[in-house]
Amino acid sequence: MKNKLIDILSENITDLSREDIEAAIEIPKKSDMGDYAFPCFRLAKVFRKAPNLIAEDLAKTINEKEYDIFSKVENVGGYINFFFAKEQFARQIIDVIGKENYEASDEGQGKTVCIDYSSPNVAKNFHVGHLRTTIIGNSLYKIYSKLGYHVERINHLGDWGTQFGKLIVAYKKWGSKVEVEKNGISELMKIYVKFHEEAEKDDSLNDQAREWFVKMEQGDEEALSIWQWFKDISLVEYKRIYNLLGMDFDHFTGESFYRDKTQDVIDKLNKKNLLVESDGAKIVPLDEYDMAPCLIMKKDGSSIYATRDLAALFYRKNTYHFDKCLYVTGLEQKLHFAQVFKVIELMGYDWYDQMVHIPYGLVSMEGGKLSTRSGNVIYAEEILHESINKIREIIEEKNPDLPDKDTVSRQVGIGAILFNDLYNQRIKDVVFNWDKILNFDGETGPYVQYTYARCASVFRKVGEVNIPEDIDYSVLTDETTMNLLKDMQRFPGIVKDAAARFEPFMIARFAVSVAQHFNKFYHDCQINVPEENVKYARLKVVQITMRVIKDALDLLGIECPEQM
């Protein structure tokens, strides 16, 4: 219907392109202002008339042509308001929404997006800060995949650097293979903290750590063997958390993967005459771009983050031929990526503008500290299990006979954490408030999941039924049903906007809106009634609502239980 409206407006407004007309069309906030509205303010300069007079003329012209899709066309204060013939409108919307995967598109066909996200530091616990990059990155992967892009999910592990020299020293001095095998990352963290405590008293430990890292860079067999062991132990924990979240990656290629590729970066920079020596180190000066210099090589000849990130970019471009490369990391890395991207530009590569840094806000607790043995550090696994346990307690209280309580507790508990993260713009800080996160009535994950389960319960109550293809659309012309249908038809545009703005919150807000509209429909429009034409028409609405909510939540990485 919107496309037909664009056709009609294009036919009557030859001074604007079809794209400009489509971009200008609005959905009025109140249904008594029409199904769509077109503002005429941009046309004032073209026609040299006041917008309200232009709207009046256009409305009159369109009315005179008697397009049968409209029940009314009127001008109000510089806007043309279009009211569709409701039965036809309902038919058109359901025909579109009823198609499987209707929100998908092929705009990304033949294009590749690399997404670099999660990327915890090996031998360190996966804390709640890592959850944000993981959750946002996974949602962007799903959104871009929905639009037809081929997506490479990259976990750029922090598995290289001087900290591993420190850890090797700590292990050799105070570590135990038995304890490390038994306790995993927590034991590595323990001896790492011990190293820093002792290094404050004995600075020579830092020299030893640097020596061990240089050994690693030079391929020393013992150093690399211990390092690989630390990495394997860490990956066991990380993958356990990813499984709990229902997420995976195509590549666990961390910083170490690029250690034999950094020399090529240095050679390229030398060839372009971009490297400058500074106090024994090698840098690319960026002062004329109001940035600190990009450090490429340290005094001792070892590589640094920027070198490895540049090597990673060349590898990804040459291997995956990306059209976009997205980095989902904290706001504090904004300068780092600005420097790396600027170096690519200065090297003369025309794909420098295909990289995007996607920052996000911080995580904090509200209403008391999370019960954790780790003090101020909140471990991701602990908060995920706490959410699952709290949902389990709610289920035991509200619905103790629910089948498969463990699965539902996991789906809702994990979903609550994911939704809380994705409901606001990513740059905003995320606050953990259990009462809010686990609320089944607020703008939360459990609320949307419960709405899906409510849809499923309708079909359980009705029993096995075959909804005819040609339902009675006249049943669906009431305001409540029309508002639900109009809301759901926004889905394809929402998905595209979320991808363009790298903002999954748009999907989360859409899911809440659909759930709210459906619950009003559920309240106002009795479904299981004796009149079959009414029952089948409303069941069709329940059916497509169920699928839209499931597809929307899937784009956020959230599962939908059939019963709650």
pTM for this model (two decimals): 0.90
Please answer whether residues 16 and 22 qualify as being in contact, where contact means their C-beta atoms are separated by less than 8 angstroms.
no
Distance (Å, rounded) from C-alpha 419 to C-alpha 210? 43
Segment 363-412, tens digit of pLDDT: 877 654 443 333 456 789 999 999 999 999 999 999 999 999 999 999 99
Segment 305-335, tens digit of pLDDT: 899 999 999 999 999 999 999 999 999 999 9
Q: What is the pLDDT of residue 373?
A: 35
Q: What is the pLDDT of residue 369?
A: 43
Q: What is the pLDDT of residue 377?
A: 65
Joined tokens for residue 108: 């990304």
Distance (Å, rounded) from C-alpha 276 to C-alpha 285? 7
What is the chain's Cα-based Rg? 29
Please say whether the structural domain 2-84 has been given the CATH code 3.30.1360.70: yes
User: Computed from CA positions of residues 555, 557, 561, 564, in that sequence, does the dihedral angle turn out positive or negative?
Assistant: negative
Distance (Å, rounded) from C-alpha 198 to C-alpha 202? 6
Number of neighbours of residue 129 by Cβ within 10 angstroms: 17
Distance (Å, rounded) from C-alpha 342 to C-alpha 322? 18
Q: What is the CATH number of domain 385-554?
A: 1.10.730.10
Parts of the chain with a pLDDT under 50: 368-375
187's enclosing H/E stretch is helix 185-199
Q: 436, 470, 454: which is closest to 517 by C-alpha?
A: 454
Q: What is the pLDDT of residue 143?
A: 98
Please say whether the structural domain 113-158+249-358 has been given the CATH code 3.60.15.10: no
Q: What is the pLDDT of residue 32?
A: 85
Give CA angle at 192 (190, 166), nearest 5°: 160
Instruction: Taking each helix axis as running N to C, give the angle between helix 505-524 and helix 532-554, from 0 to 180 degrees, rounded to the nearest 10.
Output: 160
Domain ranges of the chain: 2-84, 113-158+249-358, 162-245, 385-554
Q: What is the pLDDT of residue 376?
A: 55
Please answer whether residues 185 and 125 qualify as being in contact, where contact means their C-beta atoms are separated by less than 8 angstroms.
yes
